[in-house]
Chains A and B, each alone.
Chain A
Amino acid sequence: MITEPLTTADELEIRDVVVDFTRTTFTSERVRAAALTPRGYDEVAWKQMVDLGWTGLGIAEDVGGAGLGAIVQCLVHRELGARLAPTPFLGSAGFGAAALDVLVDDDEAAHGLLAAVVDGTVQCALALGHGRGWPGHESPSITAQPVDDGWTVTGSAALVLDAARADVVLVVAALEEGGWRLFQVAASATTPTPVPLLTVDVTRTYADLLFDHTPATPIGASSVTSDRVSLLVDQIAVYLAAEMVGVAIACTNQTLDYLRTRHQFGKPLGSFQALKHRCADVAVAVTVAQELVFSAATLIEADDFTSLALAAPLALARAGEVMLHATQEAIQLHGGVGFTDEVDIGLYYKRALGDLELIASPVDAYARMDLVRTGKTS
């Protein structure tokens, strides 16, 4: 339908494997069935993904990953988004692994955790102590306190992705002397133990986390600056934006199929010019949003963090807007059946609503972009 930003033969080959697996695995029936299981995701498929090495695709080789970089990582997020795959991939292998990579330099504990994320023995979730979006001037929502024999963290994080079933919560907490530090908290140590929140998106699990002087183990030797935390947010924003593009493409493709086959007034719906134009507009918007996302991924690979600081909020905001629009159009163009739970269109819309709140709403991402552009970030 739309242009494919992947170019190299390797990337295209990986894409075909990923598409093949996600298509056959994440059928509508399985996605819906997974939502009803106690863990809230497809454990069999998740294990297969781990065995296939997907959790390590973007992770450096020296800690057990494949070292293939951000573009391949984004490709996986896109295709999982396209199938609304109910797995903890984004929270654990996306957000969690990125935190361990970006916030910690060469540290044994971090390497060990990364390796465990890659081999699936640990599933983690990420709680950002500055709240949503990028760290700014607001007071932190999670702080760290040194105690006799170590550290504790205190505060809260709302609607944390994949936290309800995580083994480990990675907490980015504010230090009293300024700066941030990454901590590891056993999920069972939070107060109370996280319970899954019932949200509109049944293909995802979320939890509200509360920390009340909860024992926490620091990861890495030293604190990091807000800029470093911003870089982490940039990176995970690009991963999320890739998923958003996948959601938009998939629901648009389903809609196009529907418009080709459904007849009213003796013609396929897709022959009505008013609808053709709407589809054309969505296709253009999705194409462009995808370009924004994959050029941001290229910047991650090139370590061009100055450009990334602009590109990431731009990609997140635009992909978010386009995804929302595409899913809303999909409902409308399906007519009555689009409003039912009997087709998957509504599931895409509800995934979109969740994704828009995950890191930063488009409005907040544009505000961040403006700050970066005008040099007012610190």
Chain B
Amino acid sequence: MTSLDHQVLGPAFAQTPYDHPFRVELRAWLAEHPVDPEPLDQDARFRHRRDWHRTMAGNGWVGLHWPVEHGGRGVDPLTQFMYYEEVALAATPEPVNTPGLILLGPTLMAHGSAELKARFLPGILSGDEMWCQGFSEPDSGSDLASLRTRAELVGDEWIVNGQKIWTTFAQYADYCFVLCRTEAGSERHRGLTLLICPVDQDGVTVRPIRQISGDNEFSEVFLDDARVPKDWVVGEVGQGWSAAMTLFQFERGDQGYTDHARMLVHLLDCEDALRVAEADGTLTVDRAADARRVQRDLWVRIQELRHLNYRGAVLAKAGQELGAVGSMTNLVWGELEKDLGSAFADASGARSLVLGRHDTHARLASRAASIYSGTSEIQRNIIAERLLGLPK
């Protein structure tokens, strides 16, 4: 007999069964901690996510895969996979502070000094300190290695000058990890350094940028003689590219961060909306049938993503590199997210043109999914060149 789990998530995997003790334990905790639905307003939404992060962190439910010495539980990637499925099933708020939790934290563990780990990891985990990612620049997006922001060591401080852009949640962040050029005259991947820059200082100006969704989730960040303590370097001076590559591995590969379970739960909302719209005549019979076909296709595609994520978790557990599999996941995820956003809106027909609705917002916001963590085109280049070995 199929259970609710099967209906929502799909077939079980051998190593992450639906009656796994970990799932049982987490479900029990989640059942005792109900959470309100997410508000639409951006600031309220951010607070809602941050508060939930803090609630979970206070109970030891954040960063489970982090080593015990850094405040995690040291769970294996398959447990992490189950974790993401469970928090999604409970319709909890989306993760917040991902630049810290998913990207910088793990990179610090790999490349950071003992002092930096001790100083920053606890705040990332607890959600007391928020982070943003300062990589992209106006002239350096897909071509990140062309970046021009520079830092110079003066006494015991780095003085940083330049401009970052598309910096997500910079307006809420306490720290920004900035990839910048520390070797005058260096080119491309050489002479770069990854610095931890406090946002709340005179040398840093954050100007939010309005998005097509009506939000201002990302910003321009102007660095004018911004100051960074000499030792707040992730990895070695001049080795920023290598630190950034480590970081991208986490961005492209964090098993399960890639959201398949959230998507499956979201698809239920789409199916509900479709039933309502069909019943009240908002959609014609033909359109409802088409929407149902699209939703079925989406379920299949999310299952594919789920299998990719599972494979990623299995590989990671065996200690193997994810390599270009991360790019596959990212590509599949980004394209899916957009189509899911559109399907959600389409399920309510013309009504999802009206502002102030979740489906209206979700469709617009989803257009960024094939851009923001490396565009779909760049992922395809990586797959073709690194995985398939086609000539550059």
Q: Which residues from chain A sit less than 8 Å from chain B, CB to CB?
A: 131-133, 138, 158-159, 197-201, 206, 263-266, 272, 274-275, 328, 331-332, 335-336, 338-342, 346, 349-350, 353-354, 357, 361, 363-364, 366-367
Indicate if the CB atoms of B141 and A349 lie closer than 8 Å.
Answer: no
Q: Is the CB of A200 within 8 A of B360?
A: yes
Q: Which of B143, B212, B381 has the most CB of A within 10 A?
A: B212
Taken together as a complex, chains A and B put the C-alpha atoms of A349 and B367 apart, in Å, by 10
Q: Which of B70-122 contact A (CB under 8 A)?
A: none
Alpha-carbon distance between A357 and B214 when the two chains are bound, in angstroms? 21
Q: Please name the 6 residue pairs, one residue from A and one from B, whose CB atoms are nearest each other, closest first.
A: A346-B212, A357-B350, A264-B143, A341-B210, A367-B286, A199-B353
Interface range on chain B: under 10, 10 to 19, 20 to 34, or 35 or more? 35 or more
Docked Cα-Cα span, A353 to B362, in Å, equals 13
B371 contacts the other chain (Cβ, under 8 Å)? yes
Q: Residue among A339, A346, A354, A366 with the most chain B CB within 10 A?
A: A339
How far is B375's CA from A264's CA once the two chains are assembled, in angstroms? 13
B391 at the interface (CB under 8 A from A): no
Report if B356 contacts A (CB, 8 A). yes
> Roughly how many angstroms separate A349 CA and B345 CA in the complex, as a whole number?
14
Closest to B281 in A: A138
Say if the beta carbon of B349 comes within 8 Å of chain A. Answer: yes
Minimum CB–CB distance for A285 against chain B, Å: 18
In whole angstroms, how far apart are the Cα atoms of A265 and B146 in the complex? 8
In contact, A340 and B142 (Cβ under 8 angstroms): no
User: Per a CB cutoff under 8 Å, which of B136, B286, B370 touches A363?
Assistant: B286
A345 to B: closest C-beta gap in Å: 8
Find the A residue at minimum CB distance from B364: A200
Contact with A along B332-356 (1 / 0, CB 8 A): 0000001000000100011101111
Residues of B within 8 A of A364 (CB): 284, 286-287
**Residue B211, interface by CB 8 Å:** yes
A332 near B212: Cβ-Cβ < 8 Å: no
CA distance A367 to B290 in the complex (A): 11
Q: Which residue of A lies closest to B384 (CB)?
A: A274
Taking a contact as CB atoms closer than 8 A, the residue among B211, B284, B345, B350 that contacts A339 in the complex is B211
Q: 19 A-B contacts, Cβ less than 8 Å apart?
A: A131-B281, A200-B355, A264-B146, A265-B143, A266-B146, A274-B381, A275-B377, A332-B367, A336-B141, A336-B218, A336-B372, A338-B371, A340-B211, A341-B210, A342-B209, A350-B212, A353-B345, A363-B290, A367-B284
CB-nearest residue of chain B to A141: B281
Closest to B140 in A: A264
Q: A266–B146 Cα gap in the complex (Å)?
A: 9
Q: Does B192 contact A (CB under 8 A)?
A: no
B368 within 8 A of A: yes
Establish whether residues B143 and A133, one from each chain, have CB atoms under 8 Å apart when the complex forms: no
State whether B142 touches A335 (Cβ < 8 A): yes
A197 to chain B, nearest CB (A): 6
Nearest Cβ on chain A to B17's Cβ, whole angstroms: 39
Q: Are A354 and B353 neighbours in the complex by a CB distance under 8 Å? A: yes
Contacts of B287 in A (CB 8 A): 361, 363-364
Q: Are B210 and A342 in contact (CB under 8 A)?
A: yes
Which residue of chain B lies nearest to A333 when distances are taken between CB atoms in the complex?
B377
B212 touches A357 (CB 8 A): no
Residues of chain A within 8 A of B210, CB atoms compared = 340-342
Instruction: State the Cβ distance, A149 to closest chain B Cβ, in Å.
Output: 33
Other 15 A-B pairs with CB < 8 A, given A138-B281, A338-B371, A363-B286: A131-B281, A197-B354, A199-B353, A200-B353, A201-B353, A206-B353, A274-B381, A275-B377, A332-B376, A339-B368, A341-B212, A346-B211, A357-B349, A363-B290, A364-B286
